[in-house]
Structure 1
Amino acid sequence: MDNTDNLFHPSLEAAVMKLDPEDGEQIIDYFKTHALLTREKAPKSLLPTAPPPQTPNLTSTTAANQPSSPAGATGAFQVNPLPSSSSSHERRDKHSRRRRGERKARSTSDLLSLGMESQVDVSRLDLRVGRILSARVHPLAEAMIVQEVDMGENSSRTVVSKVGQEAKPEELQGSLAVLLCNVKACKLKGVVSQARLLCCCISDDCVELLVPPTGSTPGDRVTFLNYPGEPDKELQSKEKVWELLQPDLQVDGRGVANYKGCSFEVKGKGLCRAPSLTNCIIR
Structure 2
Amino acid sequence: MASSIALRSSAILISHSSNIPSYIPSHLRSFRLWSPRYGVSHIKTLTLNLLCSCSSTPLTSTPASPSEEESGERALQAAVEALDIRVGRIQKVWRHPEADSLYVEEVDMGEPEPRTICSGLVNYIQQDHLQDKNVVVLANLKPRNMRGIKSNGMLMAASDVAHENVELLMPPEGSVPGERIWFGSDAEANSQPDAASPNQVQKKKIWETVQPHLKTTDNCVAVFKDRPMRTSAGLVTCSSLKNANIS
Size of the aligned set, in residue pairs, is 169
- Deviation track 1:8-57 (CA, whole Å, cap 9, x = no partner) reads xxxxxxxxxxxxxxxxxxxxxxxxxxxxxxxxxxxxxxxxxxxxxxxxxx
Q: 2:215 aligns with which of 243, 246, 250?
A: 250
For the 8 Å contact 1:120–1:241, the answer to whether it is kept is: no
- Going from structure 1 to structure 2, the CA distance change for 1:271 and 1:198 (only over 3 Å counts) comes to same
User: Greater helix share, 1 or 2?
Assistant: 1
Aligned-residue offset at 1:119: 6.5
1:101-112 residue pairs with structure 2 within 5 A? Answer: none
TM (norm. structure 2) is 0.64
Aligned-residue offset at 1:189: 1.5
Aligned-residue offset at 1:117: 6.3
Distance 1:122 1:179 in 2: 14
Match of 1:142 in 2: 100
TM superposition outliers: structure 1 runs of 4+ over 4 Å: 116-120
Aligned-residue offset at 1:173: 0.5
Alignment gaps of 5+ in structure 1: 1-113
Alignment gaps of 5+ in structure 2: 1-71, 186-190
TM (norm. structure 1) is 0.56
Distance 2:122 2:238 in 1: 15
Counterpart AA for 1:241: I
For the 8 Å contact 2:136–2:171, the answer to whether it is kept is: yes
- 2:207 is paired with a residue of what secondary structure? helix
Q: 2:192 aligns with which of 224, 228, 245?
A: 228
- Structure 1 position 154 matched with structure 2 position 119: no
Higher relative contact order (CA closer than 8 Å, sequence separation 6+): 2
- Going from structure 1 to structure 2, the CA distance change for 1:119 and 1:207 (only over 3 Å counts) comes to closer
Aligned-residue offset at 1:171: 1.7
User: Greater strand share, 1 or 2?
Assistant: 2
- Deviation track 1:66-90 (CA, whole Å, cap 9, x = no partner) reads xxxxxxxxxxxxxxxxxxxxxxxxx
Aligned-residue offset at 1:190: 1.4
Aligned-residue offset at 1:263: 0.5
- Structure 1 position 179 matched with structure 2 position 147: no
Distance 1:280 1:118 in 2: 20
Percent of residue pairs bearing the same amino acid type? 36
Distance 1:187 1:229 in 2: 29
Distance 1:166 1:197 in 2: 13
Q: 1:122 aligns with which of 80, 84, 91?
A: 80
Aligned-residue offset at 1:233: 3.0
